[in-house]
Amino acid sequence: MRFEDIDAGTAARRLVVEDSDWAQLTPAEAERLVTLFLAARRFEEKILQLDKLNLVHGPAHSSIGQEGAAAGCVAALPVDTLMNGTHRAHHQCVAKAVNAIYEAPRDGVLSARIRAELQGLMQEILGLSGGWTGGRGGSMHLRRADLGIMGTNAIVAGGIPIACGHAFAEKQRGSDKLMVTFFGDGAVHQGATHEAMNLAALYGLPMIFFLENNKYAVSMSVEQSTYQTELLTRPQGHGIASVKVDGMNPFAVWLAGRWAQNAIRQEGRPVLILAEVYRYYHQSSSIPGSAFGYRTREEEAEWKARDPWLFLQRELPARGILDEGRLAAIDQAVCEAIEAAAASCVEGSGSATRIRAELWPDASTVDAHLNSDMREFDDARFAEPEDFDAAEMEPMSYIEAIARTMGARMAEDERIYVFGEDVANMGGGTVGATRGLTDRFAGRLINTPITENGFCGLATGAALSGLKPVVELMYSDFFLVAGDQLLNQAGKIRHLFNGTASVPLVLRTRIPGLEGYGSQHSMDPAGVFALFPGWRIVAPSNAFDYVGLMNSALRCEDPVLVLEPQELHKRKTLVPKDLDYCIPLGRARRVREGRQITLLATLSMVELCVQVAEEMGVDAEVIDLRTLSQRDIDYDTISRSVRKTGRVAIVEQTTRGASLGALIADEIQRRDFDYLDQPVQRATGRWAPPVVSQALERAALAGADDVRQLIARMLAESGLPQQGEADAVRA
């Protein structure tokens, strides 16, 4: 027996600076690099001063010691490069903002535009209304899209899949823009990082993964975090070429940035730069890490001796690129601008320094920008079945409506892309939801690997960059794998960034129902998504509603969850042939009129409620809720019905714990308590999730017997006529 080495064919190298390389750095480029570095350094120093005065609410993750890497990378790239980062991103954002509008300091002063952006960033970190996003983002969530700063992220590695989406959108548009995503050594161990690297390599995305290895994730060293401490093995495993560079040498990182740009242009593939850096202080304070015992004073002193500012002050004059006087003048201009930015935020001095009261955001705006203002629907054609003549309609199954609606809208809007596992295979995906689309829209149906967190994050970034992604989750429960990207990212971004960003993402989820897929493939996710007010939720119960609600979802500028019960797939409904109409988000529909009881139903339970009411001869009013996001539920229609019948029940097929009904019941009792003749009732499945056994599955989910028992109980408790007696009541 013998073994042969396998060459993966992906380069992982260390960048070594040679004396001849310095010829590439002109005085003008050196001034830019120094300005970016000093702006980041002095900005961070001022933030720490304000933090000591208890003026920074929340964490302020200092990057002092690491600025040379960010400044070197950003200075080497085109000014229109896009970026995002993680929670420790002040230095990256300062460098990117200054680079995007760079002008060399003149007469000891930075330009008015640069000064204004530094002021806006400082006000943002302090939570003030004049900040980049009105103070909502604070230190960890920074966005200034006009300058290419697409949003930093408090979740370690949370922004990396989103960066893939930005790069994907730029590639599809034929843009030359690059995307750089900054992250630390702690993020290397997150699954999101590997999913993003795999997607970037698979799709050939124009992006730079920039890894700042500062040796510690809070207090845990790299050696405590992983057996394989050579972090370049990670991109190598995904087929991404990488270089390691001394991040305390800004010029070396500048060279790495130039290499990365050229490599992407020539190879059409992503790259990774690993910069070895050091943060001088603890996680979020001005106290050194040695005070907490996880590193030594000697180690800190060794790294501080390699400070990037000391390096620039030594090397640039020695090589005749910039003299000491010019370096001092740049520093003076930067310091003046930083002091002015701080002065715009505070008043008083010393321990009496305080935030200017007039700069706090108006508390009444707390709920502003949770969702779109819906102006995108100003020219929409809204319609219901009765608005069409019989000649305009044709029978169509639910599954046909899915594919045909998507095809109609993709033909009109080239921004629509469909992502999901197998969506471009098997002639229409796993259930036929994309039938006929693959050939018509080549390149816009994107097969994804089994990486829900990764491709949902990619879709989020693509939506932020102006595409209209439609994500198909093969089964609804899989949203849990992508929970961070869907709920913590896509659902919060508009509000977090104060309406400066929108995520027009459509998420299609299949609910198997009584199909024997077991408890890990059968969840109705509406109750979970309803907890996040950034999401819209639509629940089409037939093909006509599917077309109208999907058209609205594709028009909406918010993320929209579309629920697709598998047991409805083959049911046919009359649908307009042109498929060109919308159903308003937030409008329920009365599908059966009655005066005894109001039944609020969703999805497959709508038709079931109608059938049971007919069978029992009960004068029940059945309302199809259609929209399930909490702020969109049509309580006007519900109230009109409840005030007529005096009795209401919410009917859902899903299990008790996953039910949305408790929230609806609470709201009805708040609005219509005086009109209720008995408490709001609910019909749901049991507490247990459905398992594969057919008998137990049917017991777990609500069915016709549950609806019959509910109606009979309500009638008995109220003394109303029961089965067979309702006709006499009507007469």
* Catalytic machinery residues: 452, 521
List CB contacts of 439: < 8 A, sequence separation 6 or more.
none
The SS3 assignment for 562 reads: strand
- Show the tokens assigned to 357: 């009261």
| b/e per residue 634-655 (b: at least 16 CB within 10 A) | bbebbbbbbeebbbbbbbbbbb
DSSP result, 611-673: HHHHHHT--EEEEE--B-SGGGS-HHHHHHHHHHHS-EEEE-SS-TTT-SHHHHHHHHHHHHG
Report the alpha-carbon distance of residue 455 to residue 563 in Å, rounded: 19
**CA dist., res. 560 & res. 521, Å (int):** 21
The angle at the Cα of 34, spanning 320 to 64, to the nearest 5 degrees, equals 130
Contact, 707 vs 651, CB < 8 A?
yes
Eight-class DSSP state of 15: -
Q: Distance of CA 301 to CAs 65, 70, 88, 280, 462, Å?
A: 12, 22, 22, 9, 44
Copy the structure tokens of residue 191. Answer: 């699954």
CA distance 211 to 228: 16
Cβ-proximal residues to 591 (8 Å cutoff; 6+ apart), any chain: 606, 610, 622, 623, 624
Q: Which amino acid is located at 313 in the chain?
A: Q
Residue 344: Cβ within 10 Å count: 18
Query: Rounded to whole angstroms, how far apart are CA atoms 606 and 260?
Result: 56
